[in-house]
Chains A and B, each alone.
Chain A
Amino acid sequence: NAGVTQTPKFQVLKTGQSMTLQCAQDMNHEYMSWYRQDPGMGLRLIHYSVGAGITDQGEVPNGYNVSRSTTEDFPLRLLSAAPSQTSVYFCASSYVPGDSYEQYFGPGTRLTVT
């Protein structure tokens, strides 16, 4: 199993550009989520999904969109990049909640917006 994969690993955008961060998992996990990690702030939840076709907002959803058309994939879209979105982005997956399981994290995407 590849686990949770993310592409790209690094990305530089100009203000106003849009892009999609890709996330895929091959563990048949129902639950997937996106976090951003900023210095001194830990990881903050952006969006999450409890299954295909179901998404919800986390703590910091503004400026980001998600969709979940398959169990495996959970892309994160930046609609119009801003310097405040410079961060490291992590995708994670786990089994269905109800009995909270640990989340498995991808390797991260380091995004810089200039």
Chain B
Amino acid sequence: AQSVSQHNHHVILSEAASLELGCNYSYGGTVNLFWYVQYPGQHLQLLLKYFSGDPLVKGIKGFEAEFIKSKFSFNLRKPSVQWSDTAEYFCAVNGNAGNMLTFGGGTRLMVKP
């Protein structure tokens, strides 16, 4: 079975600070990895995805994530956060032959203006 761990449940940053959210997964085979963002009161939206190739993936709004296979990690980063980045961030993995996506518990990010 696949599982996803997000160790930071709540993160509070000031504007312009750098962000790194941790994501570790457990699955021995080939994986597809995703980060989704959920702004307050809204649905989940895709930030970025990794299927294969360059392990450093760039997404929307200046976010990027790095797949480190040896560490089973897919951490999300942003060099300089903005107040509008306040949201909950979910890491997800799909390692099955089918289409089942497993989500981490989410990290709530609050950016202080």
Q: Please say whether chains A and B are actual partners in one complex.
A: no
**Chain B residues in the interface with A (C-beta under 8 A):** none
